[in-house]
Structure 1
Amino acid sequence: MQVIQKLAQSPLTIVAPALTILLIVFGVPAVQLFLESVSAPNFSLRNYYLFFGQYANVRVLLQTLEISAVATFICLVVGYPTAYLISTASKRARMILIVLVVIPYLTSGLARTYSWIVILGDTGLLNSALMHHRFIAGPFPLIYNRFAVYVGMVHIMLPMMILPLVSVMMGIDTSLISAAKSMGARPSTAFWRVYFPLSMPGVRGGTLLVFVICLGFYITPAALGSLGDAMLSTFIASQVSTGYDMGTISASSFILLAITLMLLSVFGLNLSSAPDAAPKPPKVFYQRLGILRLIRSYFNEISVSSRAKRWPMELYLARINAGWSRICARLILAVVMFFLLFPELVVIIMSFSNGATLQFPPTGLSLQWYTSFFNNEAWYGAAWTSVKIGLAVAVVSTVVGTLAAFGLSRVGSGLRSFVTMAILTPITIPVIVVGVASYVGLVNLDLIGTERGVILAHTIGAISYVVVIVAATLANFDTRLEQAARSMGARPFTAFIRVTLPLIHPGIIGGALFAFIHSFDEVVTTSLVSGYSVRTLPLKMWENIRNEVDPTVAAVASLLTLLPILWIIALYITWWRPKAGSQVVMLEGVA
């Protein structure tokens, strides 16, 4: 009896529901996939030999790595200076810029992909404008090629590169750069020797996160690329849909998973709220060779007098250069924000066209495509299905994820890290692998093609988002308040309900919103587990984009683009509600 009481009071007990859902829907099926890939119980590597024995498979794998690496590199090159400029802006400007980055991040990826079809198509915005001004005689091939794939992937992944970088850069003590300059370091030297090493955790985390997610891209390459731009996720999804040999599917999935796990183990991914240890400065080659160091020191001493003479002139030039620097900074930010927001704006404007086809700018304004959406049962029925599934996922994942985050905050750091990484696995590996494992798990439960199955498949990823957000809120929670409530006679459950829950409710609401967004926008896993009988709005949009090119899609994409504004308003009201004196009032209420 005492053992049962101890287990009931253990923090891991309230983590158990999240782990149970994860194991049933993802963990055990993943083990099944691995055993299938090695032909258990005979244990053979035949499936892997067959995969690498076909040139087409190897080419698709290398192509997946190449596309992911190039897209990640572009995101880093564009995202780093953008994040730097955002982090160094004034508080008001920084808040506005972060909101402008978050809006496309919260927008449906399918809607953003569709926006580039509208812009880059043969009759799209760019070709129409170029032909109208007689720059070209016929449509320029801007779509269904590698260029369009890179544009679409970078547009979707750029916010995921910028936001981690901004988070790290805002924590850097800029007085260190000023100190380096005061000791004679040039601005470029101070940046590369002081600031850049301190920003490496953000570079490492953002790059790794973007690359891993790119490995599992399916919709964007399929919609914007040609058959020659197919990625491994497309290959796996087509095998699942055609009922191909599960051994081959398992081997393909685990090859992609092995690459991901290797990257995560080598470079690491800090998803906790705790900052990394201070990074060590990079070892430069001349520091290993004493003779080169002596030569450098000698020339530095010679240049001291000349630099002293140039000092007054450099002070004057610095003022002039500062003006140009501000102009360049504003220009860079304007271009990046234009790239992130303009495609969605184009789709919104074109959705009000009164013509039989989409035009920009519209020759006249009309609500015909919105009327078509609300009058077509296939469209509004799919939307209602997505809402029902999203609400169910939000409720389940919020309850289970909040309990898991609360329990993890009460266990030791070593065990907490292990369990947290297990819970976050569905959002740290390629989504196609999660989809295939979920497919196997729902086959075991006989839930393929049911709404309950889709809810379970969405819940494992939604729980991860809830745990991350609620855990970040709990990291700032003063546990002494709960201890004080218990010292005044409150039971543990009462202290949690009356003290802890009201103080962490912003994180809970934020987690619920992200869980709903995750479910409402999910298309890859849904396409695998829906069995063509559960038609969500993203599936209906994807089907329409591939087959019909119905302009009603523009109205749907516009509605999905406007939804993030509602999310931002909800998060603003939740997070910025005044809390002055709330802690004292709660303790008095408990007493």
Structure 2
Amino acid sequence: MKVLRKFGRMPVGLTIPTNAILLVVLGIPTIQLFLTSLNAPSFSLVNYQAFFEQRANVLILFRTITMSVVVTAICVIISYPTAYIIVAAPKRLRITLVVLVLIPWLTSGLVRTYAWTVILGDHGLINNLLIYLGVISSPLTLVYNRLAVYIGMVHIMLPMMILPLLSAMQGIDRSLLAAARSMGARPLAAFWRVFFPLSLPGVRSGGLLVFVGCLGFYITPQALGGLSDAMLSTFIAEQFQSTFDLAPIATSAYILLALAMIVLSVFGFNLSDVQGRHPQVWRRARLSRFRSIEGFRFISEIVSRYRAKRWGTHLYQVAHTGAWSKFVGAIFISFVMVYLLCPGVVVVIMSFSGAAFLEFPPSSLSLRWYWSFLGDPSWIGALWTSVQIGIAVAIVSTIVGTLAAYGLSRTSPRLRSFLTMVILTPITIPAIVVGVAAYLGLVNLGLLGAKTGIVLAHSIGAIAYVVVVVSATFANFDRRLEQAAQSMRAGPLTTFTRVTLPLIRPGIIAGALFAFIASFDELVITSLISGFAVRTLPLKMLENIRQQIDPTLAAVGSLLTLMPLLWLVALYFVWRRSRLNAPHLLAEAPT
């Protein structure tokens, strides 16, 4: 009890376990990498000079930046109207569309990449459809090129762009648009001058997440592209697996990390309040010059009278969206949803094929590949290993992350902002950098190639997801309920277990599920730290893709595609039960 009271007085202490794990697994090894890249203790820039002296390295770095910028731009162009249409949709349709966006986001990225190799292949969905329609006579080369890489990367990153935009757009007060319309602004002007500036934080947050995520892409460019599409992460991974010369690896990793940090530091500030001020001032100054002309004043008076009549006529009319715009919006959102969901549907259908090779559509239906998966000890062993590691990661990250979120919710805003930034570091920097640093950290702990080491490496990212989800729950938590329970002589432990914990339980369970999914789907970090002793399901799938395209992989991908539906159903029932029990929590608190 005394310990709880001390932590209650100093809530920042609850973040100590999280920071300790981050320091040991990521922080100290990252410093070691930096010192290695500088040839410590002599400290020189020889390694960086050698990197930039090789033209191939510079081309790979430039290609990485270019491809990341292109993918980010495409995601912004597609995501902004998608999020706008979803927010403007009726409630039930909006919820359905959000769920459809979440499903591919929660689906394994490796499965989606594998699906695109089938869709874009010579005998894939697109080529077979075009040949059937008579558009082409021979298959097009749609895979193993830059276009295929862009298609795969955009598909994986698009939900990550849509979700921040949805969050930003849902928080915009629509009465501001109504006020702009009441003052005579046309719909396009009201959107451009009011809605769009308020949505820029979502554009900035989503764009940063997509760009930094693209910097660390490793599997998708390798699976869908050619040799000319390799990115810096692929270059680092190949150095790591072939030569393991730590100095060049550390140098390449820090160049990639520095690039991500520069982008985050430059665009990480809220620029929405600043943008547009100078153009507005310039336009006002220019208009003031025209208004000094007598003829313009006369025309302005006539126009003002017309505007006054029009404003009075349309002030209390309900704004209706045109049928044409609704039709275009419906077509656009349908294409986006087909693009997001088509790979998963293709994998599920293809898993029931009875042929001995991959084909779509399947010529016959069978469950042979599911039985092949269930009867293969290597597949079942990899699955069981991933489940064990995922459960352990979920337990560790949920306990530690919930304590951290609870402590952060009760600290000062400045300290909370700094500590949150530190905790979210593993998911805001390229995954390949985290993997290289985690390798050194596990070497220091003597846990390289062990399940315990993999659990620790996965936990540094999973904790961040738990903190985000549980902190969002605390943001909507009414602390007056705790004060009311304490006023009825409920102790701190009783208040937490009988009032606080039941109210935040949906967030905790959601955080645990996200932690499990993040661990279960993790591939880049695992490929660097697992050695040859531990084989998780994603590693087994990657090995299968590289060596032989066995249709058993379609059955595994089908199961992983349907898994997010189970998570979402579970989250819905937990949320509904918590909502029904909330009114009774305070009444049941003992006095």
SS in 2 for 1:489: coil
Structure 2: unaligned runs, 5 residues or longer: none
Whether 1:287 aligns to 2:281 is: yes
Q: CA separation in 1, counterparts of 2:13 and 2:195?
A: 44
SS in 2 for 1:194: helix
Q: Write out aligned runs for 1:211-222 (5 A).
A: 211-222=211-222
Whether 1:189 aligns to 2:183 is: no
Contact 1:481 1:587 in 2 (8 A): no
Instruction: Return the offset for 1:112.
Output: 0.6
* Residue equivalent to 1:272: none
Contact 1:287 1:293 in 2 (8 A): no
* Residue equivalent to 1:273: none
Instruction: Return the offset for 1:580.
Output: 4.7
Contact 1:87 1:166 in 2 (8 A): yes
Instruction: Return the offset for 1:183.
Output: 1.9
* Residue equivalent to 1:527: 527
Q: CA separation in 2, counterparts of 1:491 and 1:362?
A: 63
Judged with a 3 Å threshold, the aligned counterparts in structure 2 of structure 1 residues 307 and 234 are, in CA distance, closer, same or farther, namely farther
- State the percentage of identical aligned residues: 57
Tell which deviates more after alignment, 360-369 or 333-342: 360-369
Judged with a 3 Å threshold, the aligned counterparts in structure 2 of structure 1 residues 243 and 495 are, in CA distance, closer, same or farther, namely farther
Instruction: Return the offset for 1:420.
Output: 1.1
Q: CA separation in 2, counterparts of 1:7 and 1:394?
A: 24
Instruction: Return the offset for 1:36.
Output: 0.7
Q: CA separation in 2, counterparts of 1:59 and 1:181?
A: 51
Judged with a 3 Å threshold, the aligned counterparts in structure 2 of structure 1 residues 500 and 3 are, in CA distance, closer, same or farther, namely closer
Whether 1:356 aligns to 2:350 is: no
Instruction: Return the offset for 1:310.
Output: 12
Q: CA separation in 2, counterparts of 1:345 and 1:590?
A: 52
Q: CA separation in 2, counterparts of 1:190 and 1:290?
A: 18
Contact 2:115 2:344 in 1 (8 A): yes
* Residue equivalent to 2:145: 145
Instruction: Return the offset for 1:296.
Output: 6.4
Judged with a 3 Å threshold, the aligned counterparts in structure 2 of structure 1 residues 332 and 570 are, in CA distance, closer, same or farther, namely same
Q: CA separation in 1, counterparts of 2:237 and 2:132?
A: 40
Whether 1:44 aligns to 2:35 is: no
SS in 2 for 1:137: coil
Instruction: Return the offset for 1:202.
Output: 0.6
Q: CA separation in 1, counterparts of 2:94 and 2:284?
A: 45
* Residue equivalent to 1:304: 303
Q: CA separation in 1, counterparts of 2:287 and 2:206?
A: 34
Instruction: Return the offset for 1:481.
Output: 2.2
SS in 1 for 2:322: helix
* Residue equivalent to 2:12: 12
The letter of the residue matching 1:30 is T
Judged with a 3 Å threshold, the aligned counterparts in structure 2 of structure 1 residues 284 and 124 are, in CA distance, closer, same or farther, namely same
The letter of the residue matching 1:424 is L
Instruction: Return the offset for 1:267.
Output: 1.5
* Residue equivalent to 1:327: 327
Q: CA separation in 2, counterparts of 1:72 and 1:4?
A: 46
* Residue equivalent to 1:410: 410
The letter of the residue matching 2:343 is P
Q: CA separation in 2, counterparts of 1:364 and 1:394?
A: 40
Q: Write out aligned runs for 1:528-567 (5 A).
A: 528-567=528-567
Per-residue CA deviation, residues 492-535 of structure 1 (Å, 9 max, x unaligned), is 22322222111110000000000000000000000000002211
Q: Write out aligned runs for 1:371-382 (5 A).
A: 371-382=371-382
Whether 1:90 aligns to 2:90 is: yes
The letter of the residue matching 2:325 is S
Per-residue CA deviation, residues 9-59 of structure 1 (Å, 9 max, x unaligned), is 522222111111111100110111111111111111111111111111111
Q: Write out aligned runs for 1:165-314 (5 A).
A: 165-268=165-268, 279-280=273-274, 282-283=276-277, 285=279, 287-288=281-282, 292-294=286-288, 298=296, 301=300, 304=303
Q: CA separation in 1, counterparts of 2:507 and 2:4?
A: 31
* Residue equivalent to 1:493: 493
Q: CA separation in 1, counterparts of 2:492 and 2:3?
A: 19
Q: CA separation in 2, counterparts of 1:278 and 1:117?
A: 40
Per-residue CA deviation, residues 226-246 of structure 1 (Å, 9 max, x unaligned), is 110001000111111124221
Instruction: Return the offset for 1:281.
Output: 5.4
Q: CA separation in 2, counterparts of 1:493 and 1:290?
A: 61
Per-residue CA deviation, residues 398-438 of structure 1 (Å, 9 max, x unaligned), is 01101111111122111111111111100111111111110
Q: Write out aligned runs for 1:380-529 (5 A).
A: 380-529=380-529
Instruction: Return the offset for 1:136.
Output: 2.2
Instruction: Return the offset for 1:363.
Output: 1.6
Q: CA separation in 1, counterparts of 2:353 and 2:410?
A: 56
TM-score, structure 2 as length reference? 0.93
Judged with a 3 Å threshold, the aligned counterparts in structure 2 of structure 1 residues 93 and 296 are, in CA distance, closer, same or farther, namely farther
The letter of the residue matching 2:60 is V
Tell which deviates more after alignment, 183-192 or 248-257: 183-192
* Residue equivalent to 2:103: 103
The letter of the residue matching 1:292 is R
Contact 1:119 1:126 in 2 (8 A): yes
Q: CA separation in 1, counterparts of 2:56 and 2:268?
A: 31
SS in 2 for 1:579: helix
Tell which deviates more after alignment, 149-158 or 244-253: 244-253
Judged with a 3 Å threshold, the aligned counterparts in structure 2 of structure 1 residues 383 and 484 are, in CA distance, closer, same or farther, namely same
The letter of the residue matching 2:277 is K
Instruction: Return the offset for 1:581.
Output: 6.1
Contact 2:104 2:340 in 1 (8 A): yes
TM-score, structure 1 as length reference? 0.93
Per-residue CA deviation, residues 266-307 of structure 1 (Å, 9 max, x unaligned), is 2117xxxxxx79735513547337663236664983883897
The letter of the residue matching 1:240 is F
The letter of the residue matching 2:51 is F
Contact 1:499 1:587 in 2 (8 A): no
SS in 2 for 1:257: helix
* Residue equivalent to 2:113: 113
Per-residue CA deviation, residues 353-411 of structure 1 (Å, 9 max, x unaligned), is 11112222222110011111011111111111100100000001001101111111122
The letter of the residue matching 1:94 is R
Instruction: Return the offset for 1:257.
Output: 0.9
Judged with a 3 Å threshold, the aligned counterparts in structure 2 of structure 1 residues 296 and 434 are, in CA distance, closer, same or farther, namely farther
Instruction: Return the offset for 1:132.
Output: 3.3
Contact 2:495 2:589 in 1 (8 A): no
Q: CA separation in 2, counterparts of 1:319 and 1:170?
A: 19
SS in 1 for 2:356: coil
The letter of the residue matching 1:254 is Y
Tell which deviates more after alignment, 255-264 or 104-113: 255-264
Contact 1:286 1:293 in 2 (8 A): no
Contact 1:193 1:281 in 2 (8 A): no
Q: CA separation in 2, counterparts of 1:569 and 1:351?
A: 23
SS in 1 for 2:159: helix
Instruction: Return the offset for 1:488.
Output: 3.5
Whether 1:122 aligns to 2:122 is: yes
Per-residue CA deviation, residues 447-471 of structure 1 (Å, 9 max, x unaligned), is 1111111111100000000011111
Q: CA separation in 1, counterparts of 2:262 and 2:4?
A: 40
Instruction: Return the offset for 1:490.
Output: 3.3
